[in-house]
A and B are shown apart, each in its own frame.
Chain A
């Protein structure tokens, strides 16, 4: 595991997103794309547990109820991004609160 992934923090969204994507790819992607295609999964990057639901808000609600101290990365199963945006600039800002 990369050192940046050990304690991802929401002050560095890219590290949380990277950890979430890595955990998903290594542990869940193959199975979930067979069984839950099109649904949403919130990955707790601290416990590496997945919470799957039909909608993004349901997945996050389930995750936050079961793991109130988790740090979650939301993925749409089978898609590159959980949401499509047409209006946003691709600003590669890797930090928010530093």
Chain B
């Protein structure tokens, strides 16, 4: 099992280093990203930081903010690297914040489990799903026949 070691940022948010790139493999750039369990998306980053990466614009969406209001956002597709794993992800482009946020969908896509203590931030690999349970009963053909009861004379 491999774990990605994170850290707390200067105001105490659990954070991790990630790399993001667009269509060009040499355009990869490293960022510090906050792990936000209240964010249901994949990744959110400021538009101005996304521009130089060559992300592919994918359209728009609406996000529901903490006050219940909704707000339109641009979306792009990029390649995100956490640790040694690289995955494509939908990236919401924000104009109102400097923070880069990792959401729950990205953790699910990378099959990572977030472990936070007072001193440590870890993204561990999720354990593999349990194997399907074997049938409780053996097939009839495999069950040895019960011995014949002794015949009473």
Contacts and interface: CB of A to CB of B under 8 A. Distances in A.
Interface string B42-65: 101001000000000111111111
Nearest to A19: B60
A38 interface: no
Interface residues of B, number: 41
Contacts, number: 127
Contacts of A98: none
Contacts of B59: 10, 16, 42, 60, 71-74
Contact of B99 (A14, A64, A87, A91): A87
Nearest to B68: A80
A35 interface: no
A83 B103 contact: yes
Contacts of B64: 79-81, 83-85
Q: Give the size category of A's interface with B.
A: 35 or more
Contacts of B47: 96
Per DSSP, chain B at the interface is: strand
Contacts of B84: none
B74 A10 contact: yes
Most buried by A among B40, B42, B67, B77: B40
A47 interface: no
A56 interface: yes
Contacts of A92: 71
A13 B39 CA distance: 21
A65 to B, nearest CB: 12
Contact of B61 (A10, A82, A88): A82
B106 to A, nearest CB: 11
Contacts of A50: none
Contact of A17 (B60, B67, B90): B60
A73 B66 CA distance: 21
Interface of B: 34, 36, 38-42, 44, 47, 57-75, 77, 88-90, 92, 94-97, 99, 101, 103, 105
Interface of A: 10, 13-14, 16-18, 20-21, 42, 55-57, 60, 64, 71-75, 79-93, 96
The 4 closest A-B pairs by CB, nearest first: A86-B38, A91-B96, A81-B64, A72-B59
